[in-house]
Structure 1
Amino acid sequence: MPVPDPIISTPSSTTSEAPPTNTLVLTSLPPIFFHEQVQDALRAQFETFGAIHTWAPLSGLGRVIVVYYQDSSAEEAKSLDELPIASESTLHTTLRVFRALPTPLHTLSSEASHLAPPALEKNFLISPPGSPPVGWEPIREDPPNSTPLAADLVAALERLQINHAVRFEHGQTRAQLINADEVNGGVGVWVED
């Protein structure tokens, strides 16, 4: 299917008062405007106002984002707002051009806008880890602790151990969990069945 060439007529509106910007958004574009030939013709028309930094067609949204190097170029191109566009087919549309927030051009090419790797001593905390530094050799780690439990932990576990003395009162069974320490004024814990 041949793509019709758009015929661009003279603009019918003037720029409205708003802060200057270098970014314009063309909206409500029909799908046929996203064919390569039509995009080339549309871009060529907007390049007549000044050098374009970025031309970003968004076919799914029916929009094109245009970023100029100079604010004045974008302001002149804004004059194409409400421009009637006709083609050889029955497709007639009005080009809508809106100002967008200014796009800072210095940050688009700056290395500072990229995420830097972490400091070398923290480089191994990321997943997957980065490459080891030049000359890095793995060190032999110490074996695990040969003493399974510390003495104070063993003593605490012994105090918590169930006392096997079972007492019978009125046919009930009780097990002593923690023995009351009479010297230090401890508390005894009993469990009934």
Structure 2
Amino acid sequence: MQQSESGGGAATSEVQLNDQPNALIACKVPEEVFNEEQLKEQFEALFRAFDPSTSFQFFKSFRRVRINFTDALTAAEARVKLHKSDFNGKEMRLYFAQSVHIGSTRLEPPKPEKQFLISPPASPPVGWAQSLDAKPGINFDLLCAVSKLGPGEQYEIHSGTTNTPSVIVHVCEDDEDSEDETAEGGKRARPKIIQTRRPDNVPSVNQ
């Protein structure tokens, strides 16, 4: 039983070790490292002492360097010994390079229920159907009441309260002069727009 327990602990530590990243990110690296070849070699020698197969990726715009080791154990050892150490008169900070994956590591297409929002639109999701517009409601009581009204009469649909106004339907009066306003060809002439009369100029009274 003791051997099985020790074996299980080794397997657990191995899994935890494999989950750790095998790369470090050096932040706020001095600009001289990117410009001077000799200083760049000295910077690389610090990490090659832990792993001769270490590779480097220099990002001058961000003043950062990615250091890639062959295994996570070497990366952890280098981080423990070189983090916050002095290099070229400045403190060097090292952090583990994290790879963030949400779900799958591959880029997947959007969900089917959102694909119809893409331009140009893709095929609609399964089971999607065009919604039909509702039929307009016809108030037959209102039509019946209005049909019984004569020209100039009115019909109250909704009685007013202290908070809401009343709704009243007015029936238009017949135009007695419709025959006179009919233009040639049987078409009714367009009504003339009468301009608003300018008010009389009242002279001001000087006191």
Give the structure-1-normalised TM-score: 0.41
More strand by proportion, 1 or 2?
A: 1
More helix by proportion, 1 or 2?
A: 2
**Which protein has greater RCO, CA pairs closer than 8 Å, 6+ apart?**
1
Give the structure-2-normalised TM-score: 0.39
